Amino acid sequence: LAKTTQPISMDSYEGQEVNITCSHNNIATNDYITWYQQFPSQGPRFIIQGYKTKVTNEVASLFIPADRKSSTLSLPRVSLSDTAVYYCLVAGNNRKLIWGLGTSLAVNP
C-alpha cells in the first residue's frame, strides 16, 4: 500500500509562501504523486502532479527529491481563499488508492 504521511495542520499568513511536505517511503517505480485541495462541502480538486524533480503550474510548485520518498507542495503568496485541506496521493503501479487525513491549512489575515 502506498501510505502517505502529512502534518495534520498548518498556519500561515496572507502573502507568505507555504510548503507542505508529504512522506511516502514505500513509493514504487511507477507511482506518481498528486496533490489535491478540498474546501468544505466540496470535492477535492486537482492541484498538481509529478514524478520527479520539480513541476510548476499557475497555482503551485511540486518538489520531489531524487529518492522520491517525499514531496513538497509549495504555494506562493497564499491568500485567505487558500484556506483548505490539502491531500497528497501516491498512485499508479496497480495499487489501491489510499488517502491520508490531509493537511488543514489556515491562512490568517
Partner 1 sequence: ETGVTQTPRHLVMGMTNKKSLKCEQHLGHNAMYWYKQSAKKPLELMFVYSLEERVENNSVPSRFSPECPNSSHLFLHLHTLQPEDSALYLCASSQDVAGRSNQPQHFGDGTRLSIL
Pairwise CA distance, residues 95 & 79, whole Å: 35
Binding footprint of partner 1, residue count (CB under 8 A):
23
> Please, what is the end-to-end C-alpha distance for the chain in angstroms?
39
Give min distance, CB of 38 to partner 1, in A. Answer: 8
Does residue 94 touch partner 1 according to CB under 8 A?
yes
Does residue 7 touch partner 1 according to CB under 8 A?
no
Beta bridge mates, 41: none
- SS3 at position 4: coil
C-alpha cell of residue 95: 495499487
- In angstroms, the Cα distances linking 40 to 44, 46, 71 are 9, 15, 25
Which of 7, 16, 21, 32 binds partner 1 (CB under 8 A)? It is 32
What would the x/- binding string for partner 1 be over residues 72 to 91, using CB under 8 A? ---------------x---x
Does residue 43 touch partner 1 according to CB under 8 A?
yes
Pairwise CA distance, residues 22 & 6, whole Å: 5
Does residue 106 touch partner 1 according to CB under 8 A?
no
Which of 28, 59, 80, 98 binds partner 1 (CB under 8 A)? It is 98
C-alpha cell of residue 63: 518538489
Applying CB under 8 A, the residues found at the interface with partner 1 are 32, 34, 41-46, 49, 51, 87, 91-102
